[in-house]
């Protein structure tokens, strides 16, 4: 999906260029980056999930976005209110029912196209349909006659699409927003990374960086890692002990829910050194494992069998978006910016992220 990411980011950049062009003699424009990037990642994740050819795809994205906002608001209420027939809960149920009907309709259209020799498609929905079985006697998780294929029910296909959007859209947007913030407050690093991008990825509009190009953007990569350390999109995770365990001399019974404070651990001076609160991407210059006292200290994507499956997708998406932005603009914090990170679903700027953008090419 590199081409989709590059195309969508180029379109966003053109809108920013037009705004700068119409800004008058100042030749600079204030952009609410958090809103713009949130819309960008929604478009990218939506096209990765559903492609661009189906009419109902855009409607599905709108519904998912609306449900995500309501879910964030519900997090503030607490679990006691989640099952009560409040106005918000009733609206969420109505939206969910409508969303499921639209995805089901998209599935039916893909199946009809496949029956005519067109295939299911090369996006997420198409891949899921390869493992989908409309036959009620074939239950989810059961093996086929040869014992090699796991099938999905219609409900599971829909839930996978929802999870893909919910987990991948806001987290990547949050990473990008804090990356431009840190490069705005550390202009020397912005200059270094831009120089690298212009050297390794100097092409014009429509060019898509391949894996070889991205592997050469080493400074950009360590900037993204340092951003994940200082401003992790998810500041804590929970895990349940599968059996009795002993953690640092503390006996923990099986079934205990443990909260892991990623945000605190990734600023722990005993692990990261005396500059743990400072922006220093060079700590990752020799790799993640050597950046701290513990090789597993970076927990932004979690670890082990429950680690984030979208890690590579998110990092590649962030690299491409930042490469496009850096080779077109310089940017700095707006005087109106107020630094108040808040955590609901992810760690976002409570008062927004207004930045002043100037075009590199006049």
| Angle at 287 (CA atoms; ends 285, 289), nearest 5 degrees | 135
* DSSP label at residue 207: -
- Would you say 324 and 10 are in contact if contact means Cβ atoms under 8 Å apart? yes
**Closest residue by Cα to residue 44 from 171, 132, 154:** 171
Phi first, then psi: what are they for 342, rounded to 5°?
-130, 155
Instruction: Indicate the annotated binding residues for heme.
Output: 308
List the binding residues: 308
266-284: buried (b, 16+ CB within 10 Å) or exposed (e) per residue? Answer: bbeeeebeeebeebbbebb
Number of other CB atoms surrounding residue 100 within 10 Å: 18
Could you give the CA distance from residue 178 to residue 97 in angstroms, rounded to a whole number?
35
On the 0-12 / 13-18 / 19+ scale of CB atoms within 10 A, 333 is middle
* Sequence-ordered list of residues with C-beta below 8 angstroms from that of 41, at least 6 positions apart, any chain: 168, 169, 170, 172, 173, 176, 317
Contact between residue 79 and residue 86 where contact means Cβ atoms under 8 Å apart: no
């Amino acid at each position: 999906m590199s081409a989709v990411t590059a195309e969508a980011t180029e379109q966003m950049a053109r809108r920013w260029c037009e705004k700068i062009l119409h800004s008058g003699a100042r030749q600079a424009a204030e952009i609410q980056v958090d809103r713009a990037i949130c819309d960008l990642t929604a478009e990218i994740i939506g096209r990765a999930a559903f492609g661009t050819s189906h009419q109902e795809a855009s409607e599905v994205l709108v519904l998912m976005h609306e449900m995500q906002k309501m879910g964030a608001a519900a997090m503030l209420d607490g679990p006691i209110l989640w099952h009560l027939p409040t106005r918000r809960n009733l609206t969420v149920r109505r939206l969910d029912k409508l969303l499921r009907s639209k995805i089901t309709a998209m599935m039916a259209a893909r199946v009809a196209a496949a029956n005519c020799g067109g295939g299911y498609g090369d996006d997420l929905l198409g891949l899921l349909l390869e493992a989908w079985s409309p036959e009620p006697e074939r239950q989810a998780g059961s093996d086929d006659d040869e014992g090699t294929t796991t099938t999905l029910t219609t409900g599971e296909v829909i839930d996978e699409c929802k999870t893909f959007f919910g987990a991948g859209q806001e987290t990547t947007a949050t990473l990008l927003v804090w990356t431009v913030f840190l490069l705005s407050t550390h202009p020397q690093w912005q200059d270094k990374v831009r120089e690298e991008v212009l050297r390794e990825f100097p092409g014009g509009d429509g060019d898509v960086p391949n894996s070889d190009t991205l592997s050469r953007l080493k400074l950009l990569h360590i900037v993204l890692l340092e951003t994940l350390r200082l401003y992790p999109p998810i500041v804590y995770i929970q895990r349940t002990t599968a059996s009795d365990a002993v953690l640092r001399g503390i006996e923990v019974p099986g079934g205990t829910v443990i909260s892991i404070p990623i945000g605190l651990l990734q600023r722990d001076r005993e692990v990261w050194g005396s500059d743990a609160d400072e922006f220093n991407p060079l700590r990752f210059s020799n790799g993640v494992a050597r950046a701290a006292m513990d090789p597993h200290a970076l927990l932004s994507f979690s670890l082990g069998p429950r680690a984030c499956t979208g890690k590579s997708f998110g990092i590649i998406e962030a690299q491409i978006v930042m490469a496009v932005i850096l080779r077109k603009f310089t940017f700095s914090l707006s005087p109106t910016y107020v630094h108040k990170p808040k955590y609901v679903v992810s760690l976002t700027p409570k008062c927004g992220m207004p930045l002043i953008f100037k075009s590199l090419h006049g």
